[in-house]
Structure 1
């Protein structure tokens, strides 16, 4: 039903997310976090079914645990990750999407539809790529 009077809509920043962790996953602080097809946090990896989530804030070890047995805090924002040498991102790729290779590396292409989108390229340096997760 549509509003017919003012509504007190609460808000939160959306910068920090608490995401349930996938079974048997270990996410290290500073890693590129992803969400798998069933909605659980997992380290970035080559897969066509992940969604780039952001940076892991503290190491979480769910070894032996079921899906959702633990949660991880993931920060959204702009973070620097390694550039994949064989599929390198260049200045010409600024503001294009980049793709997950592993939990610390991004690439220019989806690797023949084998890699999931990480986020947007916002800066390219000799030492890495700044990726925006939003």
Structure 2
């Protein structure tokens, strides 16, 4: 039904998130944070089913807890991550392509035959690492 009077519509900036942490999980501040299939926060790892969420803004240790016992703050944006090596090393020629998650601080050029999830879009490569937009 269409509005017939003013509506107080709340707003989010779409940059900061708070998510439940998966059971038996420890996440370090500054790590690449993902959501697993259940929608719980986990550190980036070798998996084809993760969804990149942002960078963890705090350290949360839920190793002794159940899923959702603790929450973690994360932030979207463009962040530098460690570069993979050998044939999976990202170069400036890859700017604009997808980066793939190796672990909670490393990204690679390929999905390794569909075994890695997408971290985001490569925006730059410099001495600080691979700048990925999540």
TM range (shorter): over 0.9
| Residue 117 of structure 1: aligned partner | 118
Unaligned runs of 5+ in 1: none
SS in 2 for 1:110: coil
- Count of aligned pairs: 133
Of 1-10 and 81-90, deviating more is 1-10
1:24-82 per-position Cα deviation (integer Å, ceiling 9, x unaligned): 11000110001001100000000000001111111000012111110000011111000
| Residue 79 of structure 2: aligned partner | 79
- Please show how residues 1-134 of structure 1 align to structure 2 within 5 Å: 1-86=1-86, 87-133=88-134
How far does residue 11 in structure 1 lie from its aligned partner after superposition?
0.6
Q: Distance in 1 between matches of 2:89 and 2:2?
A: 49
Q: Distance in 1 between matches of 2:3 and 2:79?
A: 39
- Deviating 4+ runs (over 6 angstroms): none
Question: What is the RMSD computed on CA atoms of the aligned residues?
Answer: 1.2
Q: Distance in 2 between matches of 1:128 and 1:3?
A: 49
How far does residue 2 in structure 1 lie from its aligned partner after superposition?
3.3
Report the CA distance shift for 1:65/1:124 in structure 2 as closer, same or farther (over 3 A). same
SS in 1 for 2:102: strand
| TM-score, structure 1 normalization | 0.94
Unaligned runs of 5+ in 2: none
| TM-score, structure 2 normalization | 0.94
